[in-house]
Amino acid sequence: MKPQQIGAFRVDRVLESEGPYFALDFLLPGAPAELIGENADWLKPAFVDPADDRLILSFQSFVLRTGRNTILIDTCTGDDKERPGRPHWHRQKRPYLERLAAIGVAPEAVDFVFCTHLHADHVGWNTRLENGRWVPTFPKARYIFARREYEHWEAVHREHLAGRGEPVSHGSFADSVLPVVEAKRAVFVESDHEIETGVFLEPAPGHTPGNSVLHAESGGRRALFIGDVMHTAVQLARPALSSRFCSDAALSAATRTALCERHAETDTLILACHFPTPVAGRIRRHRAGFALAV
Ligand SMILES: [Zn+2]
C-alpha cells in the first residue's frame, strides 16, 4: 500500500504476511460459490486468487501519524509465539520491526497501540520475547483496549485458569495482552474514546463483543480502520455474510451492513486488517451489494 494522506494525517501499512489463504466457504460459511464469479471483475486478481479462487489475505498493521502522535493499529500475530493450533503462526520469525523501521518508526516512537479486538492475529506484536519473558514491544506506548472487549476476554481467561475452556485465542491473551497490563502500559477506554481531535473509536460489535473501529478525520478527509468488520472484500458483495470467526454472526452482519451503507459513495478510505495489496479503497454500490474501489 502506498502511504495515504488524510488531510494532515499520514497512514502507512506494516505487512507481516500476505497470500492465498482460505477457501470462500470455509471463511464465510454459507457463501454461494457463484459470488466470486459474479464479482470477478473487481475481486480478481487482487482479492481472490485466479488460480483456485482462494481468498488472498494479509496480516498487517497500520501506522497513523497525526503530527502529534504515532498510533499503531492492530499488531498481527507476532514472533516466537507458541501457536501449535495455527502452524503458520507458530514460533514465527518475520521482519515486522524492520518493516516498521523502513517507514521511519522505531518501537520507542510509538505513542499509542490500538487493538480493534483481542484475537491472536491483532495483538501479537504487543509483546516480544526478552530473556524468556514477554515484554511490551513498544516501551513508551499506551496500549488502548476497549474496556468491553478486555473484560469479555479476561472473564474467559479466568474460566480457562479455573479449568474450564481453552486458552483465550490460542494463548494470545496470556502472552500478548496480560504482559502489557502487568507492565502498566494498558489504558481501558469506552468504545467511543477520542485519542486526539479527529481520532476516535466507534463500537462495531459482532466479530467480538467489544470490537471497535477507529476513525481518523483531518482536513475534511476520513480514514476508517475497520479491523475485522470485514475479513475479505468479498463481504462487500454480500455484507450479510459473517466469518466463521465471528462470535455473533447476526450482530456482525448488522454492523457490517450498516457500515457499508453509511460509507458507500463517500470519500471514506477503508483500511481493513486482512485486505491484501493494494489494501485501501472506498466503498461503492455495485449490483445488489457493494464493491471496493481502489
Ligand atoms: Zn483478524
pLDDT value at position 56?
98
Tens digits of residue pLDDT in 133-165: 999 999 999 999 999 999 999 999 999 988 888
Q: What is the phi/psi pair of residue 58, to 5°? A: -110, 155
Cα–ligand 1 centroid distance for 163 (angstroms): 26
- Three-class DSSP category at 293: strand
> How many Å lie between the centroid of ligand 1 and the Cα of residue 117?
9
- CA 246–ligand 1 middle distance (angstroms): 10
**Tens-digit pLDDT profile for residues 225-282:** 999 999 999 999 999 999 999 999 999 999 999 999 999 999 999 999 999 999 999 9
The Å distance, Cα 243 to ligand 1 centre, comes to 10
Query: Which grid coordinates are listed for 80?
Result: 516466537
CA of residue 231 to ligand 1 center, whole Å = 7
Task: Write down the pLDDT at residue 163.
Answer: 87
pLDDT tens digits along 101-115: 999 999 999 999 999
Percent of the chain past pLDDT 90, that is, above it, reads 95
Question: What's the pTM?
Answer: 0.97
- Bridge pairing between strands 199-203 and 112-114: unpaired
Ligand 1 centroid to residue 119 C-alpha, Å: 7
Percentage of the chain modeled with pLDDT above 70? 100
Question: Is 166's pLDDT higher than 90?
Answer: no
Q: Mind giving me the DSSP string for 234-277? A: HHHH-TTPPPTT-SSHHHHHHHHHHHHHHHTTSSPEEEETT--T
Read off φ and ψ for residue 66, nearest 5 degrees: -100, -5
